[in-house]
Amino acid sequence: MERAELVELLSPEGLRLLDSLPRYESAADVVRTVSALRKEGHPPGLVAAALTQSKLRAKAAGKFGPFADRMLFTEAGLEQATRLSVAARHAARFSRAGLTRVADLGCGIGGDAMAFSALDLEVTAVDADEVTAAIASYNLAPFPQSQVLNARAEDVDLVGQNAVYLDPARRTSGHANTRRLSDPGDWSPSLDFAFGVAERMPVGVKLGPGVDHALLPDDAEAQWVSVDGQVVEVGVWTGTLARDGIRRAALVLHGDRVAELTAAGDADDEPVGELGDYLYEPDGAVIRARLIGDLARGLQARMLRHDIAYLTSDSFVETDFAVGFRVLEELPYKESELRAALAARHIGTLEIKKRGADVDPAALRKRLKLKGESSGTLVLTRIGARHVALLVERMGASAGA
């Protein structure tokens, strides 16, 4: 979004037009709506801006729920914004620690700042991009104790603040079609800056879940978060924001269910063993946090290989930290023989999961030429040096996942 476009959208006419639009449903609806709005005499640029926001609001409902209907977005800002359910947990950390004045450096469209403000924290939200800062200001308008600054994080005077939250921009600048930056020194602000601030006051840093563990401070708590099976972030917490004795955590959110696995550090692996009657696929947050060994011990399970994140056991234990499967049988791994085996079992619908196998599931599914009224789940992996194809069925609460 360009500055001129935002100025037009924020005009009384623009906001009235945006709020009058029906909920975005499809591109076909947009064509009809554009035609109708143009006939009513609305400027083409304003119509385009309002419809773009309507589309983004519909897309944002998954992250912000009904709050999305009163917010403004950019494409990149929405993509990078923290989900409301996760942002609320960030805010709760600051509140529990008794930290009342928070500088949110790199606030984006203001998702986390809104959650902080909702708990009556005094927030100074900062973003270097003028348009993004203006959108954050709009989104934070219901919270008079909060303010937004258009500035670089590195230039903000932190005197008077008693904590900082940072979400470094890990993509190139812009509001759409941005590119991921792999070097932490190129992030805005850089990771060195973020952890430098942590030497002065409690800090929370939101990072991508694939961050190198070697970059994390030894005295910080790192909490990987997954929402409905998708790992969305790792929060790095320092000072009073970090919990005593916890350096690694995997927080798993499934609808209304919340579960957390915590440890004082990376977990030691369990020994490798033979395939049992059950197979477990650990949640991505558990894998990223390197807590697979602790999960295995809790399930009385063993590892198939130390470099493959599958666990196996002889009895089933239901858990929020992994999807469980009953192993029905081992099928031939060779493709022609596998096709015949699936045909013999009349499997026409097949879910394919893989770890340690160089296979494109979508391409393989097409080549298998599946026919039949039955459905199944196939796991392609390795046991020792051997590639295996396992026909399995989902267990427990995971059966509908």
Q: What is the pLDDT of residues 279-300, one digit of tens each?
A: 999 999 999 999 999 999 999 9
The answer to whether residues 69 and 116 belong to one domain is no
The answer to whether residues 98 and 35 belong to one domain is no
Contacts of 232 (CB under 8 A, 6+ apart): 82, 83, 86, 209, 225, 226
Here the CATH number for the domain that contains residue 235 is 3.40.50.150
Tokens of 51: 């419809």
**Phi, psi for residue 368 in degrees, rounded to 5:** -70, -15
The answer to whether residues 285 and 357 belong to one domain is yes
Structural domain of 67: 3-73
Question: pLDDT by residue for the chain (401 residues), tens digit each?
Answer: 788 889 889 999 999 999 888 777 766 567 777 778 888 888 888 888 898 899 999 999 999 999 999 999 999 899 999 999 999 999 999 999 999 999 999 999 999 999 999 999 999 999 999 999 999 999 999 999 999 999 999 999 999 999 999 999 877 776 666 677 778 888 889 999 999 999 999 999 999 999 999 999 999 999 999 999 999 999 999 999 999 999 999 999 998 999 999 999 999 999 999 999 999 999 999 999 999 999 999 999 999 999 999 999 999 999 999 999 999 999 999 999 999 999 999 999 999 999 999 999 999 999 999 999 999 999 999 999 999 999 999 997 544 44
The answer to whether residues 160 and 292 belong to one domain is no
CA 197 and chain centroid, separation:
25
Q: Cα separations (Å) of 25 from 15, 18, 22?
A: 20, 15, 9
| Cα 62 to Cα 57: distance, rounded to the nearest angstrom | 10
The answer to whether residues 102 and 197 belong to one domain is yes
Q: Coil, strand, or helix at residue 356?
A: coil
pLDDT in tens, 167-197: 998 777 766 666 777 788 888 899 999 999 9
The answer to whether residues 95 and 131 belong to one domain is yes
In a domain, 270, yes or no: no
CA 88 and chain centroid, separation:
14
In a domain, 337, yes or no: yes
Here the CATH number for the domain that contains residue 308 is 3.30.2130
Burial class for 118, CB neighbours closer than 10 Å (0-12, 13-18, 19+)? middle
Strand partners, 323: 281
In a domain, 108, yes or no: yes
Tokens 């917010």 label which residue?
71
CA 53 and chain centroid, separation:
22
| Cα 390 to Cα 393: distance, rounded to the nearest angstrom | 10
In a domain, 263, yes or no: no
The answer to whether residues 68 and 82 belong to one domain is no
The answer to whether residues 88 and 220 belong to one domain is yes
CB atoms within 10 A of CB 338: 19
The answer to whether residues 92 and 214 belong to one domain is yes
The full DSSP string for 73-140 is --HHHHHHSPPHHHHHHHHHHHHHTT--EEEEET-TTSHHHHHHHHTT-EEEEEESSHHHHHHHHHHT
In a domain, 111, yes or no: yes
The answer to whether residues 205 and 107 belong to one domain is yes
The answer to whether residues 172 and 63 belong to one domain is no
How many structural domains does the chain have?
3
The answer to whether residues 84 and 69 belong to one domain is no
In a domain, 269, yes or no: no
Among candidate residues 392, 387, 345, the one with its CA nearest the CA of residue 368: 345
Contacts of 109 (CB under 8 A, 6+ apart): 71, 72, 73, 74, 77, 78, 81, 132, 135, 136, 139
| Cα 344 to Cα 323: distance, rounded to the nearest angstrom | 27
Give the Cα-Cα-Cα angle 191, 229, 315 (nearest 5 degrees).
120
**Phi, psi for residue 390 in degrees, rounded to 5:** -115, 125
In a domain, 256, yes or no: no
Q: Which residues of 8-42 are buried (b: 16+ CB within 10 A; e: fewer)?
A: bbbeeebeebbeebeebeeeeebeebeeebeeeeb
Determine the length of the chain.
401
Tokens 């986390």 label which residue?
112
